[in-house]
Amino acid sequence: MAVYAGTSGFAYPAWKPDFYPENVGSKKFLEYYATRLNCVEINYTYRQLPKAATLQNWIAATPEGFLFAPKAHMKLTHILRLRNAAEFTEVFFRAIDPLHSAKRMGPVLHQLPPNLKCDLPLLADYLALLPVGLRFAFEFRHQSWLSEPVYELLAKHGVCLCLAESDKLEIPKVFTANFAYFRLRKGDYPEAERKRIAEQVRELSSAGRDVFVFFKHEDDPRGAIYAEELLKDA
C-alpha cells in the first residue's frame, strides 16, 4: 500500500537553503515541496475556512497523487467541542470539498483539546455526522480517551487513532482503520530512530495499510528532510 510522508505545513522561509533553494520564492514553496514530498498536513483549515480559489491554487501547484491532510476547524474541536456540531460540520466539509472532488484529500485530522475528557456518546454522535467516503484521524490529548471502548467506536466507523508523539501522553500503537496516521513531533530523530520508524512503516504498508507520516516542521528543515528520507527507505 501507499506511504505518504511530509510535514505539518510548508510555508517556512527558515527551510532555506537546506530544503528550499535560495532562488525559490515563497509563492513557489508548495510547488517545490511537492517535487520532493507527496503529502502535507494543513493547519490553515484549523484557523479559517479556505476559499475555493486557494484550494484550486494548491491543486494546480502539485502533481496528481499529491495529498492534502486538512486539520478540522477549531470551531468543531475547540469551540463547539464536537457538541451540536451538525451545521458547522456541513459548512466545513463543503469548504474543503474542492480537495475531495479533485481526489487530493488525505485524512482529515481532528485534534481535540487537552482538557476535553472522554465522552463516548459525544464522540459517537459526532462520528455519525461525518461524510461518507473520506478518511478521518482523531488525535486525543487527554488520557481518558485511551481505552478499548473508544478504539472499538473508532473502528466501527473506520476512523484512525492518530499516533501523535507528546511529552505528556503516550498513545498506544492501536490501529483502528485501514490506514495509519503518525504525527512525529520531536525536533530531532537520530538515525537509529529514523530506521526504526521506516521499518514500522514498511510493516504496516506490507500488511495492507496506507501510511501517513508527518514530521515537526516550523523552525528548521529537518522534518522535511526526514520525511523525504522516509519515502526513500519505506
Over the stretch 56-66, which tens digit does the pLDDT of each residue have?
999 999 999 99
Containing domain of residue 201, as a range? Answer: 3-222
Tell me if 121 is assigned to some domain: yes
pLDDT tens across 194-229, in order? Answer: 999 999 999 999 999 999 999 987 778 999 999 999
Q: What is the pLDDT of residue 215?
A: 94
* Residue 1 near residue 205 (C-beta atoms within 8 A): yes
Q: How many domains, in total, are found in the chain?
A: 1
Tell me if 197 is assigned to some domain: yes
- Rounded CA-CA distance 63/81 in Å is 35
Tell me if 208 is assigned to some domain: yes
Closest CA to 140 of 120, 167, 169: 169
Tell me if 189 is assigned to some domain: yes
Tell me if 30 is assigned to some domain: yes
Tell me if 13 is assigned to some domain: yes
Q: What is the pLDDT of residue 95?
A: 98
CATH code for position 119:
3.20.20.410
- Rounded CA-CA distance 156/193 in Å is 33
Record the pTM: 0.96
DSSP H/E element including 161:
strand 160-161
CA 65 to centroid of chain Cα atoms: 16
pLDDT tens across 151-201, in order? Answer: 999 999 999 999 998 777 889 999 999 999 999 988 789 999 999 999 999
Tell me if 230 is assigned to some domain: no
Tell me if 25 is assigned to some domain: yes
What amino acid is encoded at 222 in this protein? R
